Amino acid sequence: MPIVAQLVQQYLDRIRAEHADVTDGRLADYIPELSRVDPEGFALSVSSSDGFVYESGDATVEFTIQSISKPFTYALALDRIGQCAVDARIGVEPSGEAFNVISVDEVTNMPKNPMINAGAIAAVSLVPGRTADEKFDLIQEFYSGFAGRRLEIDHQVYASEKATGSRNRAIAYMLDSFGVLDGDPDDVLDVYFRQCSFKVTSTDLARMAATLARGGINPMTGRRVTDGAVVRRTLSVMVTCGMYDAAGDWVSAVGMPAKSGVGGGIVAVLPGQLGIGVYSPLLDAKGNSVRGVRVCRSLSEQLGLHFLTVARDSRATLRAVYEPVDRIRVYEAHGDLLFCGAEQVARTVDRERDRFDVAILDVSRVDDIDDAARALLAGMSATLRAQGKDGYLVDPDAVIGTGLTAFGSVDDALAAAGR
Ligand code: DON
């Protein structure tokens, strides 16, 4: 593993460890099969926007996607029939109600948003297909495009939910009575139960999130799964409605579009920057993973990931890399250097370490830097030294102070390096 990856890995392991002892919450038992999972399972995966994945804990354990399916089917409906047709059937207003509430908007008679069950069932009905199988095949292909691998369903969870899903049946028939549902309610429900039963790992969720973060391009496969307008609309409803009646608290404290599922997963997206997948199946009263929410909160606080912090800064990072003299490489950063930008700078330096004896990090065009980025670059300079390499900093305005020897210009740094 590259050295900078080890540093980030340590951050993630530490953040996960901070919450490992929390045993609050309960397994979802209204779907009987979900109460059979190991309550201890705990995983955190983070994908950078260029597809590099960090994993901590049980990142290979599969669990069912449940409500995290909802934004992806909503995106598929938008992708295939367009926003106008979708808006004619599903609203975008936060409901402030539980995910399984049997209600529609009093004025429009439509589900209030696509993140509660009513809106999600309506979204399934909008996916093109003459039969339930045709709809399901499209959904499977679409989700798999986001994950970068073919996702399969857990047949036991599907059968368990289908056998006990009276509440969702009530919702589907209510929608049918209001003329909101396209097709036979039982067929639509069958597809909904199947989509909730897809098996994913925390890493799948991180990759799906990173595909949203990249505006619809999967950074691992390079394939465009959907377009930027679909992603923008999908992320918008994730911000306002993704965590149900905890949405306000989530946006204030964590500040990332997100979606939870009663299987214990949470997916969170930092647009343009990274994707997060967390798994821990003990849930709070709102159906959100207790440790999942806590981990996301810590990640946001400790790595400065709140989207209202990052929005103005997302243009950060490497502007140029060049070699003015043999075996001396200059890495020129610009913009605002926050965690994600610093991670990419440090990982680039690390990847190229066999190509230089001296690395010069030129931050003379960096406007601002935060503590998470500073700590990462300090760690990078220590590891360069440990490998017998020199690291110099061009920092005329002293924005950093990483422990690297600082100079006012690249020429001064080259002179110090004796070239
Ligand atoms: O429809 C249901 O009740 C489940 N298949 C999904 C609910 C869910 O994940 C709610 N999210 N936290």
Alpha carbons within 13 angstroms on the beta-carbon side of residue 203 total 15
The rounded Å distance from CA 96 to ligand 1 centre is 16
- Partnered with residue 273 across adjacent β-strands are none
Distances (CA, A) of 273 to 43, 192, 215, 310, 395: 20, 31, 10, 9, 25
In this prediction the pTM is 0.87
Q: Has 244 been labeled as part of a binding site?
A: yes
What span, in angstroms and rounded, lies between the C-alpha atoms of 302 and 345? 19
Which has the closest alpha carbon to 153: 139, 172, 164, 168? 139
At residue 365, the pLDDT reads: 85
Q: What is the per-residue pLDDT across 357-387, written as a single tens digit (0 to 9) for each?
A: 999 999 988 877 888 888 888 888 788 888 8
At residue 98, the pLDDT reads: 87
Looking only at the bridges linking them, the beta strands covering 199-200 and 63-64 are antiparallel
- Residue 263 CA: which ligand 1 atom is closest? 9
Which has the closest alpha carbon to 75: 154, 133, 141, 152? 141
The rounded Å distance from CA 98 to ligand 1 centre is 10
CB within 8 Å of 354: residues ≥ 6 apart: none
What span, in angstroms and rounded, lies between the C-alpha atoms of 40 and 229? 39
What span, in angstroms and rounded, lies between the C-alpha atoms of 162 and 71? 21
**Cα-based torsion angle of the residue sequence 12, 14, 19, 21 in order, rounded to the nearest 10 degrees:** 130
Indicate the range of 59-73, 244-258, 338-352, 390-404 predicted with least confidence. 390-404
- Tokens encoding 306: 């709140």
- Best mutation site among 31, 67, 168, 171 for ligand 1 pocket (most ligand atoms within 8 Å of CB): 67
What span, in angstroms and rounded, lies between the C-alpha atoms of 295 and 308? 19
The rounded Å distance from CA 279 to ligand 1 centre is 15
At residue 187, the pLDDT reads: 97
Looking only at the bridges linking them, the beta strands covering 390-394 and 358-369 are parallel
Which has the closest alpha carbon to 276: 313, 302, 246, 252? 302
The rounded Å distance from CA 262 to ligand 1 centre is 5
End-to-end Cα separation, the chain, in angstroms? 32
The residues assigned a catalytic role are 67, 70, 192, 244, 262
What span, in angstroms and rounded, lies between the C-alpha atoms of 164 and 252? 35
b/e string for 10-27 if b means 16 or more Cβ within 10 A? ebbbebbeebeeeeebeb
- Best mutation site among 99, 121, 260 for ligand 1 pocket (most ligand atoms within 8 Å of CB): 99
Q: What is the per-residue pLDDT across 158-193, written as a single tens digit (0 to 9) for each?
A: 999 999 999 999 999 999 999 999 899 999 999 999
At residue 314, the pLDDT reads: 42
Q: Has 192 been labeled as part of a binding site?
A: yes
Distances (CA, A) of 122 to 19, 126, 184: 37, 7, 11
What span, in angstroms and rounded, lies between the C-alpha atoms of 221 and 26? 37
- Partnered with residue 366 across adjacent β-strands are 335
Asked whether 174 and 102 are in contact (CB, 8 A), the reply is yes
Q: Is 244 helix (H, G, I), strand (E, B) or coil?
A: helix
Tell me how many degrees the CA angle 97-99-102 measures, rounded to the nearest 5. Answer: 75
Q: What is the mean pLDDT of the chain?
A: 92
What span, in angstroms and rounded, lies between the C-alpha atoms of 255 and 269? 9
For ligand 1, residues with CB inside 6 Å are 66-67, 99-100, 117, 161, 168, 196, 260-262, 287
Name the band, by pLDDT with cuts 50, 70 and 90, for residue 315: very low
pLDDT at position 21 over 80: yes
- Residue 288 CA: which ligand 1 atom is closest? 12
Shortest-distance Cα residue to atom 12 of ligand 1? 261
